[in-house]
Amino acid sequence: MNDDLTGLQADFPAFLIWREEFPGRPRYVARSRYLGLNPHTVVTTDLRELRDVLPPGPSPDATVAIPQARSRVPTAAFSEPERDAASTRAADSGCSHE
């Protein structure tokens, strides 16, 4: 069974795949290496099922752009001095409050 797991890992490099032992039976977990690649996580006791649900994806060497987090606080919630200070901190960190 270890060879099957190794083969699955090679066939789906966009996912981290491992085996966990639970009393009575093993389970297999696959977790996406990339933001936005779905499914994010799959847990099953059947390697065939895992193979069936995982999509082909980018290799782990692929460059994937991760979007910057944006502030969810409207700037109107701040007084003018606070807004100016927040804008200065955001500009220094490379973030935008648009």
For the cut 80, the answer to whether the pLDDT of residue 55 exceeds it is: yes
* Least reliable range by pLDDT among 22-31, 49-58, 79-88: 79-88
For the cut 60, the answer to whether the pLDDT of residue 60 exceeds it is: no
CA distance 36 to 39: 9
Residue 39: is the preceding peptide bond cis (ω within 30°)?
yes
pTM: 0.56
